[in-house]
Chains A and B, each alone.
Chain A
Amino acid sequence: MADSAPTDILEMRGITKTFPGVKALQDVNLTVRRGEIHGICGENGAGKSTLMKVLSGVYPFGTYEGDIVLDGETAQFGNINDSEARGVVIIHQELALVPYLSIAENIFLGNERRRAGGGIDWNKTNAEAAVLLERVGLSESPTTLISAIGVGKQQLVEIAKAISKNVSLLILDEPTAALNDNDSEHLLDLLRQFKQQGITSIMISHKLAEIAEIADRTTIIRDGQSIETFEMADAGASSEAIQNRIIRGMVGRDLDNRYPDRDSRPGEEVLRVEDWTVYHPTQPGRVVVDSANLNVRAGEVVGIAGLMGAGRTELAMSLFGRSYGRDISGTAYVHGKQVDVHNVPDAIKAGIAYVSEDRKQYGLNLIEDIRRNISAAGLGKLSRNGFVDENEELKVAGEYRESMNIRTPNVLMEVGKLSGGNQQKVVLSKWLYTAPEVLILDEPTRGIDVGAKYEIYTIINELVAAGKAVLVISSELPELLGICDRIYTLAFGRITGEVDVASATQEGLMALMTQENTQETKV
């Protein structure tokens, strides 16, 4: 086979996958050339992950229609083991590592290196793991526990695990969603190296800049159909132009302005934080946020830019009823009055709302319906003598469904079944119902598609137009530059700068975000 290997490593023809009542994929075609990096883009729910599950045998042969041709041969995978035996390995968005096993144990989990007697050959395991770690550029001992390394390194362990299986086609589903810029960059470099070694990669990502940077070709999936495949070289001259080209394909129209316009008319100061210091909850003496000072005015969107681990979320959660750690000092004022926010109910009463970074883990009760998720933080307003006025509750939820444009037939749908964008709107509704003065939004658009992002920005604009103060934490600098009035930069727990958005650039912000020295600078 080797000498006459076809140029296309993979061809998926006319893939149709139906779930009871829903056609998830309809006549999808995907051709991947040997040795290329192939991007797959599409809005949430477009069917990207379903397609990859068909390819990797999660949905076994027979549960879908269409053909998969791998290396010129028709493939009929009954499960993941079948596809891995043919060198197709998928790395899912949610990492599948066991926290209390070592790196080496995780790499060879289910594929253990054995001795003649059947026992595990630990020397071989650890030695081979060390070689694989070297290949992915991870300088950790193979015996380190997974729980002891950060998410960026865990992603590398996943990749090491994949190449231990003699991968020829590597599928990555949102590999950089949880990574900071440095780790993402390292991962992209790694993919380039693999390309030179002849490994083909398929990469699903919402981060269009990354796709523009790394992919050779990109296929657009929209509403369960493959819309088009194009060469990135032909798509545009600049990264910006390529991204716009992808967006056009994803939404089926031009999205000229990714950030809605807004008149900025800040009023009086709503939130002021002075000398806010937070210590790590389990490591005594470790300062996570170091004497931070900041303020937010009515009708103003203020951003917090910082790399992962800079203390962004810790700052927000400690302000929100001391939800992070116990050892916190400093004072917070809402409308000039000092507030005592010792727990979450107090913080809500003081007019603070916090939309968490991970909505599935911290924001929503996924097995409950939309109505009850929306009312969850404002039950006090809906109840009398300890009992809930359920008719009123239903009315409130219905109003938010309308005003926030939550796309469901009614408010009795289980939240776990909604798309990311709709889920985020439910979380926002929950907090708006508490009628807050200050909204802290932690990564408000993570993992949601371009169209829904625009809607979230519009909602933010409506909020500030109504005189609320909004504090946005985001790792996407273009987003902060697009929606904020002012941006604080946070580095290693310290506020290193306060920048007016009119004079800010991505490079300038990045310089402040990586500044290890402690002098605050005003630009």
Chain B
Amino acid sequence: MTGIANLRELFTRNLRQSGIYIAFVLIVVLFSVLTDGLLLSSRNMTSLVLQFSYILILAIGMVIIIIGGHIDLSVGSVVALTGAVAAVIVIRGGMPWWVGVIAAIGTGLLVGAWQGFWVAYVGIPAFIVTLAGMLLFRGLTLEVLNNVSLSPFPAEYTSIASGFLNGLLGGYGYDTFTLVIFAIGVLGFAYNSWRTRRARIAYKQTVEAPVLFVLKLVVVAAVVMWFAWNLATYRGLPAVLIILAVLVMVYTLVTKHSVFGRHVYAIGGNLAAAQLSGVRVRRVNFWMFVNMGFLASIAGIVFSARSSAAQPAAGNMFELDAIAACFIGGAAVTGGIGTVTGAMVGGLIMAVMSNGMQLMGVDQSTQQVVKGIVLLLAVAFDVWNKKRAVAAR
């Protein structure tokens, strides 16, 4: 049964997944042409990472919520609230930066537990609970901040988002440390892919042809190292990127391989069947929301650190960007389907489009229109793809 999947099969077998990568590449190419290469300049790529990191962090939690068959409309307000709590403690209270971070995370966890309680144990639809939360936590933010912005944060706090790790191994016009870190990442990825491939062969599963496998690794390595080179020749490794990379790795592992992750997919796929298979549905739903609160607090810290301020209107509409990222990334509206990597690529598509249009000087109104249409088309593609699958039966 050790069949060799050919190139065409590789793409067609899972159009839902591969389609998103192709779309991403096309959008990157389109905007680098439209911006005369400005999009892919070292400086712009660095700022792109900094500017959209908090949406990506939110999208990680959001995709888990969506796979579980729920939605969270409150994350924008939670971003504002956690940032405000940190600001009050650090700026107004004069406490050390890490006290602010811990308090913000604590607030996020409490918020998550609150919403998880109503969704999981009282049984109120997440749409309602988080719609209420959206108002509730925005109101609390205003309360905490007394309706005024607080700034600036001390340098230690702002370096969480705007800091760079560089010069640790010396600079030669480029930052060696950045390159080394990325090289380790690429090697790790290659080793892991090779191990997975070997295991799959051992268990008689289909794998792609050896040539394709190597080609895939080379392409990934080339793209990643080129990206690393751009960072290295600008300001080095952004601290935010490390946070994001760690979160993506951890949550990919959790969603794909942990029992908790499986239970989330099972609940979203068929709630009744999950319950009758011994999944503790309420507990899983509860922790999904606690986790979302946690990630929203991380996003809140990163956002407040980046703007060095806590504003009453911070995080407005973030929930919509995060939700859009998930759906563009192939998550199903009905639950049960979605991946963290998909949501990340979906988020990057949104990021590249916004950033590209900003570089081109397209005004805000047009940007909104374009983003709206892309979201609609992404879900339409998903629906079409499903119909195609049904018709093929």
Contact = CB atoms under 8 A, between A and B. Distances in A.
A309 to B, nearest CB: 20
Given A19-B393, A344-B278, A376 B257 contact: no
Contacts of B277: 344, 376-377, 430
Interface in A360-403: 361-368, 372, 375-377, 379-380, 383, 386-388, 390-391, 394-395, 398
B336 interface: yes
Contacts of A380: 259
Given A364-B270, A367-B336, A391 B199 contact: yes
A19 B392 contact: yes
A144 interface: no
B205 interface: yes
B278 A377 contact: yes
Q: Select the residue from A366, A379, A409 with max chain B CB neighbours within 10 A.
A: A379
Q: Select the residue from B205, B272, B278 with max chain A CB neighbours within 10 A.
A: B278
A391 B203 contact: yes
A161 B278 CA distance: 41
Interface in B250-277: 253, 257-260, 262-263, 265-266, 269-270, 272-277
A503 B204 CA distance: 52
A410 B204 CA distance: 10
A386 B273 contact: no
Interface in B270-289: 270, 272-280
A331 B59 CA distance: 48
B273 A365 contact: yes
Contacts of B184: none
Q: How large is the interface on B (under 10, 10 to 19, 20 to 34, 35 or more residues)?
A: 20 to 34
Contacts of A388: 257-259, 262
B269 A367 contact: yes
A194 interface: no
Contacts of A365: 265-266, 269-270, 273-274, 336
Nearest to A343: B280
Interface string B375-393: 0000000000000000111
A345 interface: yes
A400 to B, nearest CB: 15
Contacts of A343: 280
A387 B275 contact: no
A391 B258 CA distance: 13
A390 B266 contact: no
Nearest to A392: B203
Contact of A354 (B203, B272, B276): B276
Contacts of B199: 391
Contacts of B219: none
B269 A345 contact: no
A21 interface: yes
Contacts of B337: 367
B211 interface: no
Contacts of A412: 205
Given A365-B266, A367-B269, A387-B259, A376 B393 contact: no
Given A345-B278, A377-B278, A362 B273 contact: yes
Contact of B275 (A344, A379, A409): A344
A395 B257 contact: no
A368 B276 contact: no
A417 interface: yes
Contacts of B336: 365, 367-368
A391 B259 CA distance: 14
Given A356-B276, A367-B336, A394-B203, A376 B266 contact: yes
A415 to B, nearest CB: 10
Given A20-B392, A365-B270, A372 B262 contact: yes
A395 B275 CA distance: 25
B373 interface: no
B1 interface: yes
A296 interface: no
B203 A366 contact: no
B168 interface: no
B369 interface: no
Contacts of B262: 372, 375-376, 379, 388
Contacts of B273: 361-365, 376
B259 A386 contact: yes
Contacts of B278: 321, 344-345, 347-348, 377
Given A364-B270, A366-B269, A387 B276 contact: no
A388 B272 CA distance: 22
A386 B202 contact: no
Nearest to B261: A388
B11 to A, nearest CB: 17
A344 B270 contact: no
Contacts of A356: 276
A423 to B, nearest CB: 12
A361 B336 CA distance: 15
Contact of A391 (B202, B265, B276): B202
Q: Select the residue from B276, B279, B392 with max chain A CB neighbours within 10 A.
A: B276
Contacts of A386: 258-260
Contacts of B259: 379-380, 383, 386-388
Contacts of B1: 409-410
Contacts of A20: 391-392
Contacts of A19: 391-393
A77 interface: no
A395 B199 CA distance: 11
Contact of B203 (A344, A364, A367, A395): A395
B393 A387 contact: no
A362 B277 CA distance: 9
Contacts of B260: 386
Q: Select the residue from A20, A363, A376 with max chain B CB neighbours within 10 A.
A: A376
Interface string A201-237: 0000000000000000000000000000000000000
A320 interface: yes
B391 A368 contact: no
A368 B203 contact: no
A308 to B, nearest CB: 19
A356 B272 CA distance: 11
Contacts of A320: 276
A323 interface: yes
A447 B206 CA distance: 33
A372 B392 CA distance: 23
Contacts of B392: 19-21
A326 to B, nearest CB: 14
A176 B263 CA distance: 36
Nearest to A427: B273
Contacts of A361: 270, 272-273
Interface string B144-185: 000000000000000000000000000000000000000000
B265 A368 contact: yes
Interface of A: 19-22, 320-321, 323, 343-345, 347-348, 354, 356, 361-368, 372, 375-377, 379-380, 383, 386-388, 390-391, 394-395, 398, 409-410, 412, 417, 430
Given A20-B391, A366-B269, 7 more contacts: A19-B393, A361-B270, A365-B273, A383-B258, A386-B260, A394-B205, A430-B277
